[in-house]
Amino acid sequence: MSRRILLAGGAGFIGSHLTDALLERGDEVVILDNLATGQRKNLVQALTNPRCSIVEHDITEPLSTSGPMGERFDMVFDFASPASPSDFLTMPREILAVGSAGTSNLIDRALADSALFFLASTSEVYGDPLVHPQPETYWGNVSSIGPRSCYDEAKRFSEALTMANQRTRRLNSRIVRIFNTYGERMRPDDGRVVSTFIRQALAGEALTLYGDGAQSRSFCYISDLVRGLLAITEQEDHLPINLGNPAECTMRELAETVVDLVAAPSKIVNVPMPPEREGDPLQRCPDIQRATSLLHWAPTVSLREGLGRMIAHYRELKANA
């Protein structure tokens, strides 16, 4: 059954891959994006489909009710937020506005259309966790004043706003907490560790490890994540669901894998943790028991396989630059 979907943030890394999957499923997709961090080039193929259109708009401003926005939507997806460490430094006010006014505007539209509202939240709501791995029942260990707080607290507020509307206004909602995701269309200069290591290795530069490199993350390839996102829309549980890969690795292990796959002469060097990275979690790993139980979902793409695909994509971008 074809559905009409409003996808805020559809020109971003995850949003554009989700757009492709929704179109492949047969849905009609109207993308809302102010292109602050999203890019039209992510949608080159999608926008050739007559069931896909884009409206350049900042969701913190009132939503239009004309043109592509004039018809009812079956689902409203909130994927509209800058989400990289470099964005935290340069766009903190915008991030906070998107997580409050922006989410509120999208919720109001979902309520007006009697549509399902889907919030893309994040593992950052757990902060620097004292529980490992992190289940959805964990309330987190979050600083409200550090350099990352604009994003962490914006998403926590978005979740609270979603649940408040679910309880008081019967909003039909879903919440996903997305753990570290990587793949094609990540901005090479976005400051995230996977894209940074690959960019450095392809340039023959040293890979820079903050601190001792013992910090750990769990990396989920984009196709696995999107498969989980679609599965969440097909079930009725409104409480948060973690999506991520529980295969944990240290930053040093990640750097060594990238150097090996690129076959680069790059060295791996340790550098002091910069002040702007204050509050970076030491560990991050999802407990995916709810996703496994409710969605029958688990990631299938290994880190080496996913990194290989991403490296090939970056090589192609470099060759065409």
Amino acid making up residue 15? G
Q: Cα–Cα–Cα angle for 256, 216, 233, nearest 5°?
A: 110
The tokens of 269 are what? 């060097």
CA-CA-CA-CA torsion sign (55, 57, 59, 65): negative
User: Could you give the CA distance from residue 217 to residue 194 in angstroms, rounded to a whole number?
Assistant: 11
Q: Which helix (H) or strand (E) holds 5?
A: strand 4-8
- Do the beta carbons of residue 15 and residue 9 sit within 8 Å? yes
User: Could you give the CA distance from residue 165 to residue 35 in angstroms, rounded to a whole number?
Assistant: 28
User: Could you give the CA distance from residue 221 to residue 260 in angstroms, rounded to a whole number?
Assistant: 19
User: Residue 148's closest CA among 275, 28, 248?
Assistant: 275
Is 151 among the residues known to form the active site?
yes
User: Could you give the CA distance from residue 191 to residue 153 in angstroms, rounded to a whole number?
Assistant: 20
User: Could you give the CA distance from residue 135 to residue 41 in angstroms, rounded to a whole number?
Assistant: 36
| DSSP result, 54-66 | EEE--TTSPPP-S
Catalytic position from the list 126, 151, 221, 314:
151
The C-alpha R_g of the chain, in whole angstroms, comes to 19
**Exposed, middle or buried: residue 300 (CB in 10 Å: 0-12, 13-18, 19+)?**
exposed
User: Could you give the CA distance from residue 106 to residue 7 in angstroms, rounded to a whole number?
Assistant: 10
Q: How far apart are the first and last CA of the chain?
A: 41
Which residues have a catalytic role annotated?
Answer: 151
